[in-house]
Chain A
Amino acid sequence: MKDFVIPDDRDMGTPAKTGAPVTLTIDGFPVTVPEGTSVMRAAAEAGIAVPKLCATDSLEAFGSCRLCVVEIEGRRGTPASCTTPVAEGMAVHTQSSKVKKIRKGVMELYVSDHPLDCLTCSANGDCELQDMAGMVGLRDVRYTPGENHYDPSGTGARSQAEARLRLPGGEANPRYIRKDESNPYFTYDPSKCIVCSRCVRACEEVQGTFALTIEGRGFESRVKAGMEGDDFLSSDCVSCGACVQACPTATLQEKSVAEMGTPERSVVTTCAYCGVGCSFKAELNGDELVRMVPWKHGKANRGHSCVKGRFAYGYASHPDRILNPMIRDSIEEPWREVSWEEALDFAADRMRGIQERHGRKSVGVITSSRCTNEETYLVQKLTRAVFGNNNTDTCARVCHSPTGYGLGQTFGTSAGTQDFDSVEKMDVAVVIGANPTDGHPVFASRMKRRLREGAKLIVIDPRRIDLFEGPHVKAAHHLPLRPGTNVAVVTALAHVIVTEGLYDEAFIRERCDWDEFQAYAEFVSDRRHAPESTALLTGVNAQDLRAAARLYATGGNGAIYYGLGVTEHSQGSTTVMGLANLAMLTGNIGREGVGVNPLRGQNNVQGSCDMGSFPHELPGYRHVKGAEVREIFETAWGVEIDPEPGLRIPNMLDAAVDGSFKGLYCQGEDILQSDPDTKHVAAGLAAMDCVIVHDLFLNETANYAHVFLPGSSFLEKNGTFTNAERRINRVRKVMEPRNGYEDWEVTQLLANAMGGGWSYTHPREIMAEIAATTPSFAGVTYELLEEVGSVQWPCNEEHPVGTPLMHVDGFMRGKGRFLFTEYVATDEKTGPRFPLLLTTGRILSQYNVGAQTRRTANSIWHDEDVLEIHPHDAENRGVTDGDWVKLASRSGETALRARITERMSPGVVYTTFHHPGTQANVVTTDFSDWATNCPEYKVTAVQVSPSNGPTDWQEGYEAQAERARRILPAAE
């Protein structure tokens, strides 16, 4: 394993600035920096480190520790270098005898209230207080112990070790506060705190949660989570780790470091959770992962993280993980552990046998949006080149397929238009059908930062999401629409913009087809699209809607951010087109701070779509009907490619029930839990002769599998992920795969067992094949990624280091296209039997089907799915908070506990789908998007009634799952 050499990871003290160049001298060395830069940072640029404690380059300067004082010629006194901006011709001295004396005095005072336990401290070797004491040359502390915060015994001990000897097990110092261990991942030890406020400021500036404060004043000042009576767990803390990252001492410390010791090497890699795609440093001892630390040069996250990426990686070493291949003849039998060879031969024989009996098209694959681009590419290649059909689909089918279709139709590319940095220039954000603080927390923090700077927010969602209102953030408008009426609301927004003349005529004339616009304008101007006409249908107040439309059209840079609340509808694609229309109408496309930004659910949804996972498209979104496209791959692969599109996931399941589809290779996706209408999925799987599940765990789908191929975690393989901003980030192997093979190797083994004859030795060779065959990836190589960190596609001759902003000078398709967006009600309707609408989503601490996060301490925040219901609806049904309720729809029923909350609109209930015990998707229906078959998860007519506990179906399911997971011990 090669350690990735981390370029320039020093702490520069204060954030970088932009401005006119200013030249000054530091200790005689000339240095030129942008105007507004601090003297401290200028010194760091010159290679001179000024001692500091309260400053770090992720936070604005604070000037409280007084350790960074310097002398400046012609100025009086000793200013703090962190809060002093540079000036032309300034001459700074960082090492005069005067400042050295001051620094030593300051350090001596700090250390007088800090225990001298360095050798046994969990931050030993990773402590800035220790470093600074060394740097200023502190050799003695002349103060005798008086009142202090560190000595539990109150006996005047200088270290906690000594205090324990003097008063074993005792506490006699009222100022001593015990360690707070309530958070599962880190501890807060007030006795080691120097009250530099870095944690408090990180929680405010970086994360935007404001969970921490300094309590009291003067010597009594202590860092406090929440208010009186709170600990970290009960406070507003979301466990993002920003405070731990900022802490210079052992006060806020990862429990893993306390347990395992300080890591000695690090490898930069990419988080495998959501579509933000944060860069992390995996810090290790040998091959033991000690902690994940957000990498400050990561272009998606800029040094920030959330509870999932930073802490919830323990699933990779969870005992539930399956490390040996297993097979069985039927799903009624227990699993048998076998060798890789036997498992692969078994799988290959079965798949070939099925194809011989039922035809070439009777088998297929499902690629995973959680696996790498290279792995996904191989899985679709498996079906196209080895199975000889186009039966490939991906979990993106059930989340963002309408994004690909809608944006492809209007703009010409199936991807978001911006990079995440663009949010820093945004003036008005429209957040529709997304809950960024839970689903995309790191991006939400960046957005909240911009909102605190004064940008305006419009929330369009049936729920009052957390972003709507919180510390220092309040949405200008909330349009609480009824689930299923997105198109009506979006078209009404366009109606207001067109009829009130708020559109950007110059932009439309230049960038779109004026005649097409005229027709569109006539369409949306019709009175049936007026907010007053649609109010009854959508439940959105017409005046609010008009005000929101005016704000978006006239408030400066308007950016639209959307999630699955837009796509997972019967008119998902129409809504995406409607949003694209809004951006074109108002000229909000093609520059920083604007655009249409899909927030992708999983780490590699973008990539899995790019890599040709869909049954009708070869890599790069090129239709299989195109002979010239097929020819490229036919030449590269040496096979003939079927010109007919293959089956989508729902078609595969239908065909399985009909008996014409018999074999499936499913990599890293749990369709049984995540796809709608669980009973139908189960019936489809049960009807197949060979289901091959390739995963870390025996997931719910594996209950119906005949072959289980153990997968490797993101820490155990090389590859790339493509995030929501089209950014191709490297995933680096930090340890050997515990199952023996990286996932791309397993796919290759299976292909070769079926006669594929593949011979890749490293994912870089797969990327080279992708680049050679797919124009938007033409310039992507592993060498380039090593050099520049990451690139956003298209990356080719025209854009050698990628494309942060799309459609800058013109749309990819030429002229932007306005499409009519007529509202058509979903067939899923409420009625007397099912009077409520269910919508589903997720929460911060859990991820998707929970296969990973349920196997970490994250469950402390969310150990079961609950049904959120408005007090009015609850009262009508005699339901009180915490009661078991039965949730029933036309498809099925399940039971879970109720949580009564005014976040919900009356008539709408909400739940998550993280726990297989609940199986929210038993209730959802098989209605889907008209264009892409993306399921309508977000609208299900339901009834809620009091219940005693789990339903018969849940108990039966539990029993079946338990039976299906039996494993026979390996034969001797």
Chain B
Amino acid sequence: MRHAVPQPTVDDIREVIAPHLDREGPLLPILHAVQAAWGCVPDAAVPVIAEALNLSRAEVHGVVSFYHDFREAPAGRHVLRLCRAEACQAMGGKALSEAVLGKLGVSWGETTADGAVTVEPVYCLGLCACAPAAMVDGRVVGRADAARLDALLAEGAA
């Protein structure tokens, strides 16, 4: 399930991006600020950002779509990222991923029906020595296993 995409007004968007307009290379900080405000980069923000920065809609879209971290729709309350890079795969990452996805009943990139968890792939968290690695709401977890991840998600839900 996906959460409804927020529909901010042009004025709302302008207010969020205004503090960043004088920065050098303002586009990425603005996209982060927009995502912080609405949990995603809504389509409505693209033309407003383009106008403010003297860019075209296409250019802004190109940047937004390049970075997987910028979302089209808000994530669930928790974001679980599982590493699928070589070292983690060698240490059983694939089985772990299958177990977690199966238990939550979602595929990659999806959010559970109750809106609690979004599961995303990630390609290396720099934690290869402690593979398989995962990340729960921005916190890295080494030597992850299904039980540990369950516990962390339950802890967050509480």
Binding partners A and B? yes
**Interchain CB contact under 8 A, A212 and B54:** no
Q: Is B59 interfacial (CB 8 A cutoff)?
A: yes
Q: Is B65 interfacial (CB 8 A cutoff)?
A: yes
B72's nearest neighbour on chain A, judged by CB, is: A228
User: Given A213-B61, A215-B61, are A228 and B43 neighbors across the interface (CB < 8 Å)?
Assistant: yes
**Interchain CB contact under 8 A, A215 and B62:** yes
Contacts of A213 in B (CB 8 A): 56, 58-59, 61-62
**Interchain CB contact under 8 A, A217 and B66:** yes
User: Given A215-B65, A216-B66, A227-B43, are A236 and B54 neighbors across the interface (CB < 8 Å)?
Assistant: no
Q: Shortest Cβ distance from B26 into chain A, in angstroms?
A: 14
CA distance A227 to B65 in the complex (A): 10
Q: Is B60 interfacial (CB 8 A cutoff)?
A: yes
Q: Shortest Cβ distance from A193 into chain B, in angstroms?
A: 15
CA distance A211 to B50 in the complex (A): 12
Name the residue in B55, B58, B62, B65 with the highest tally of chain A Cβ atoms < 10 Å from its Cβ: B58
CA distance A651 to B109 in the complex (A): 75
Please tell me which one of the listed residues B46, B56, B60, B68 contacts residue A211 in the complex, with CB atoms under 8 A apart. B56
Q: Is A474 interfacial (CB 8 A cutoff)?
A: yes
Q: B-facing mask of A212-246, CB < 8 A → 1, else 0?
A: 11111100000011111110000110000000000
Q: Shortest Cβ distance from B86 into chain A, in angstroms?
A: 17
Q: Is A202 interfacial (CB 8 A cutoff)?
A: no
Q: Is A470 interfacial (CB 8 A cutoff)?
A: yes
Contacts of B46 in A (CB 8 A): 227-228
Q: Is B57 interfacial (CB 8 A cutoff)?
A: yes
**Interchain CB contact under 8 A, B54 and A472:** yes
**Interchain CB contact under 8 A, B60 and A471:** no
Q: Is A209 interfacial (CB 8 A cutoff)?
A: yes
Q: Is B47 interfacial (CB 8 A cutoff)?
A: yes
A-B contact count (CB 8 A): 60
User: Given A227-B46, A229-B43, are A236 and B62 neighbors across the interface (CB < 8 Å)?
Assistant: no
Contacts of A474 in B (CB 8 A): 54
Q: Is A210 interfacial (CB 8 A cutoff)?
A: yes
A217's nearest neighbour on chain B, judged by CB, is: B66
Contacts of A236 in B (CB 8 A): 56-58
Please tell me which one of the listed residues B54, B61, B66, B68 contacts residue A227 in the complex, with CB atoms under 8 A apart. B61
CA distance A469 to B56 in the complex (A): 11
Please count how many residues in chain A sit with their CB below 8 Å of the partner chain's CB atoms.
24
Contacts of B62 in A (CB 8 A): 213-215, 224
**Interchain CB contact under 8 A, B54 and A469:** yes
**Interchain CB contact under 8 A, B57 and A226:** yes
Contacts of A473 in B (CB 8 A): 54
Contacts of A209 in B (CB 8 A): 56
CB proximity to A under 8 Å, residues B43-84: 43, 46-47, 50, 54-62, 65-66, 68, 72
CB proximity to A under 8 Å, residues B26-53: 43, 46-47, 50
User: Given A227-B43, A228-B46, A228-B72, are A472 and B57 neighbors across the interface (CB < 8 Å)?
Assistant: no
Q: Shortest Cβ distance from A200 into chain B, in angstroms?
A: 8
Please tell me which one of the listed residues A215, A217, A229, A471 contacts residue B56 in the complex, with CB atoms under 8 A apart. A471
CA distance A210 to B62 in the complex (A): 11
A218's nearest neighbour on chain B, judged by CB, is: B66
**Interchain CB contact under 8 A, B61 and A228:** yes
Q: Shortest Cβ distance from A205 into chain B, in angstroms?
A: 13
Contacts of A212 in B (CB 8 A): 58
A214's nearest neighbour on chain B, judged by CB, is: B62
CA distance A633 to B58 in the complex (A): 59
**Interchain CB contact under 8 A, B43 and A210:** no
Contacts of B72 in A (CB 8 A): 228
Q: A-facing mask of B103-117, CB < 8 A → 1, else 0?
A: 000000000000000
Q: Shortest Cβ distance from B49 into chain A, in angstroms?
A: 11
A220's nearest neighbour on chain B, judged by CB, is: B65
**Interchain CB contact under 8 A, A224 and B58:** yes
**Interchain CB contact under 8 A, A227 and B57:** yes
CA distance A225 to B61 in the complex (A): 10
User: Given A216-B65, A216-B66, A217-B66, are A227 and B55 neighbors across the interface (CB < 8 Å)?
Assistant: no
Q: Shortest Cβ distance from A960 into chain B, in angstroms?
A: 45
B61's nearest neighbour on chain A, judged by CB, is: A227
CA distance A236 to B58 in the complex (A): 8
Contacts of B47 in A (CB 8 A): 227
Contacts of A216 in B (CB 8 A): 65-66
Contacts of B55 in A (CB 8 A): 210, 471-472
CA distance A698 to B59 in the complex (A): 45
Contacts of A224 in B (CB 8 A): 58, 61-62, 65
Contacts of B54 in A (CB 8 A): 469-474
Q: Shortest Cβ distance from B9 into chain A, in angstroms?
A: 17
**Interchain CB contact under 8 A, A230 and B65:** no
Contacts of B66 in A (CB 8 A): 216-217
CA distance A216 to B55 in the complex (A): 18
Please tell me which one of the listed residues A211, A217, A229, A469 contacts residue B58 in the complex, with CB atoms under 8 A apart. A211
Please tell me which one of the listed residues B58, B65, B68 contacts residue A210 in the complex, with CB atoms under 8 A apart. B58
CA distance A215 to B58 in the complex (A): 9
Q: Shortest Cβ distance from A7 into chain B, in angstroms?
A: 36
Q: Shortest Cβ distance from B89 into chain A, in angstroms?
A: 18
CA distance A416 to B47 in the complex (A): 39
CA distance A229 to B43 in the complex (A): 9
CA distance A212 to B60 in the complex (A): 10
Name the residue in A212, A216, A227, A230 with the highest tally of chain B Cβ atoms < 10 Å from its Cβ: A227
Q: Shortest Cβ distance from A198 into chain B, in angstroms?
A: 15
Q: B-facing mask of A715-741, CB < 8 A → 1, else 0?
A: 000000000000000000000000000
Contacts of A226 in B (CB 8 A): 57-58, 61
Contacts of A471 in B (CB 8 A): 50, 54-56, 59
Contacts of A229 in B (CB 8 A): 43
Contacts of B50 in A (CB 8 A): 471
A211's nearest neighbour on chain B, judged by CB, is: B58
CA distance A209 to B56 in the complex (A): 8
Contacts of A217 in B (CB 8 A): 65-66, 68
CB proximity to B under 8 Å, residues A666-715: none
Q: Shortest Cβ distance from B155 into chain A, in angstroms?
A: 34
CA distance A230 to B61 in the complex (A): 11
CA distance A472 to B58 in the complex (A): 13
CA distance A18 to B4 in the complex (A): 56
Contacts of B65 in A (CB 8 A): 215-217, 224
CA distance A225 to B50 in the complex (A): 15
B55's nearest neighbour on chain A, judged by CB, is: A471
Contacts of A210 in B (CB 8 A): 55-56, 58-59
Contacts of A227 in B (CB 8 A): 43, 46-47, 57-58, 60-61
A210's nearest neighbour on chain B, judged by CB, is: B56
Contacts of B68 in A (CB 8 A): 217
CA distance A916 to B46 in the complex (A): 38
A203's nearest neighbour on chain B, judged by CB, is: B58
**Interchain CB contact under 8 A, B43 and A235:** no
Q: Shortest Cβ distance from B127 into chain A, in angstroms?
A: 23
Contacts of A472 in B (CB 8 A): 54-55
CB proximity to B under 8 Å, residues A822-855: none
CA distance A470 to B57 in the complex (A): 11
Q: B-facing mask of A465-482, CB < 8 A → 1, else 0?
A: 000011111100000000
Can you pick out 22 interface pairs between chain A and chain B where the beta carbons lie within 8 Å of each other? A209-B56, A210-B55, A210-B56, A213-B58, A213-B59, A213-B62, A214-B62, A215-B62, A225-B58, A226-B57, A227-B46, A227-B57, A228-B46, A228-B61, A229-B43, A235-B57, A236-B56, A236-B57, A470-B54, A471-B50, A472-B54, A474-B54
9 cross-chain pairs, A with B, having the tightest CB-CB distances, nearest first = A213-B62, A210-B56, A227-B61, A213-B58, A471-B56, A215-B65, A227-B57, A227-B46, A217-B66
User: Which residues of chain A have a CB within 8 Å of any CB of chain B?
Assistant: 209-217, 224-230, 235-236, 469-474
Other contacts beyond A227-B47, A228-B43, A474-B54: 20, CB < 8 A: A210-B55, A211-B56, A213-B58, A216-B65, A216-B66, A217-B65, A224-B61, A224-B65, A226-B61, A227-B46, A227-B57, A227-B60, A227-B61, A228-B72, A230-B57, A235-B58, A236-B58, A471-B55, A471-B59, A472-B55
User: Which residues of chain B have a CB within 8 Å of any CB of chain A?
Assistant: 43, 46-47, 50, 54-62, 65-66, 68, 72
